[in-house]
Amino acid sequence: MKFLTTLFLLVSITLTLEAKLNLIKKENPDSNTTLLVIGGIHGNEPGGYYAPAILATHYKILSKNLWIIPNLNEASILKFRRGIHGDMNRKFAYIKNNDKDKAIVSEIKKIILLPRISLILNLHDGHGFYRQKSEGRIYNPKAWGQSCVIDQCKILKKTPYFNLEKIAQEVKHDINKKLLKKHHSFNVKNTHTKKDHYKDMQESLTYFAIKHYKPAFAIETSKSLPSVSLKVFYQLVAIESYMKIMGIKYTRDFKLNKNSINKIIKDYGTLEINHNILLNLNDIKKSLSYIPIKLEYNSFKFSNPLGSVKKVRGSYFIYIANHLVLKLKPQYFVMADDCQEKYAFDIDGKKVLVPKASEIFVSDDFKISKTNKSRVNVIGYYKQGVKNESEIKISYKNLNKKYAVDKRSKIFRVEFYKNNEFCSMVMVHFK
């Protein structure tokens, strides 16, 4: 028994030391060439995490491989701070055992060193506009913005992509053909990291990679650019250029311009809870109550890679990047076994089978057919003496708008229960 307890303790300790990174793989079986894009090492550099999030959700990779970690330093992104436990990008040469970033740094190092990783990009927003000669206060050699950063000219081992200087120059020329304004021009910044007086640069992620003969570059868009979408635009232009150099073929489902990027950034997407609730996070009310979830081990699946959940004093705070989108107040339930996967509805007089955790669109009215064993609860509907609200035709005027889930009061919850256990929810969206 004692042995078992020790074993259990060991397992839980290892679990806490292992960070679960949000690694998204887009792969093709024909090739081992892999580009690794790392975003969000600094939590207050949104160009550096929105760009990889869009890469993850709006690009299709047709040849070779793309691995994406959009939000390496998620806890700092949530607070919009460079690093809540200090600068994560200065922890790659040495890190204390009790450092709160230790698990993440160890994990990302392991990924960088995988044989299949061919080239690494670390994304940032930096100050000003980097120029080789000073052209004033924000355009000068000390600035970082709008630069392709390399630690040295070449990697000292002839691997593919060993010539960092040549690749960065090529990317720079490519970006400079697509500038929206002339002063957004990119330059190559060689930090000559190896030199003695660059001790802090030697602790960075890219230098760790270089020392292990892994080609690595930083992309720095400027903090001085007036909008996040503009930063993301240049990040994506740069990443596409690296993909071109590596022969990674891709398609994207939007036009690469500021407006479409802006629209994508504002789309919070959906949140699926325990595979039985689906919430559209756009236009949702700030707070929802009596959400039927489990006391522990709930699964939260976001369509947006920058989604995260924080539990504070019994409520669940739902974030997209640093934006608090929703506060969920739970009502704890046991999840029922053997629930139906689909429910029979009458939508505007038409019979439809509706999958659990989905949304239906209604013009006039809906009716849920009598189910075998489950009880139906339409939140916002009330009829005295009625406990199971199936077989009742319900229209918009029958619903108390206070119970809608969205700000426009158009979307309502239909919940299915079996005995006193929860099965699933369907959203009814009035057109």
Positions that interact with Zn ion (CB under 5 A): 42, 45, 124
Q: Which is nearer to Zn ion, 145 or 330 (CB)?
A: 145
Give the CA-trace dihedral at 355, 418, 429, 344, to 10 degrees: 50
Residues in CB range of 240: below 8 A, 6 or more apart? 250, 256
Angle at 319 between CA 314 and CA 325, to 5 degrees: 90
Alpha helices by DSSP H, 162-204: 164-176
Smallest separation (angstroms) from Zn ion to the CB of 136: 23
Q: What is the CA radius of gyration of the chain?
A: 25
Smallest separation (angstroms) from Zn ion to the CB of 69: 15
Q: Which is nearer to Zn ion, 43 or 305 (CB)?
A: 43
Smallest separation (angstroms) from Zn ion to the CB of 238: 15
Smallest separation (angstroms) from Zn ion to the CB of 178: 23
Residues in CB range of 48: below 8 A, 6 or more apart? 39, 40, 41, 42, 123, 124, 125, 221, 235
3-state helix, strand, coil in the chain (%, to 5): 25, 30, 45
Which residues does residue 216 pair with via DSSP β-bridges, in sequence order? 120
The type of residue at 70 is P
Q: Which is nearer to Zn ion, 124 or 418 (CB)?
A: 124
Q: Which two tokens stand for residue 199?
A: 């001790």
Q: Which is nearer to Zn ion, 42 or 91 (CB)?
A: 42
Q: What is the DSSP letter of 318?
A: E
Q: Which is nearer to Zn ion, 42 or 90 (CB)?
A: 42
**CA–CA separation, 137 vs 149, rounded Å?**
20
Smallest separation (angstroms) from Zn ion to the CB of 336: 48
**CA–CA separation, 152 vs 156, rounded Å?**
10
Q: Which is nearer to Zn ion, 124 or 214 (CB)?
A: 124
Q: Which two tokens stand for residue 355?
A: 């999958």
Which residue has the closest beta carbon to Zn ion?
124
Q: Which is nearer to Zn ion, 90 or 356 (CB)?
A: 90
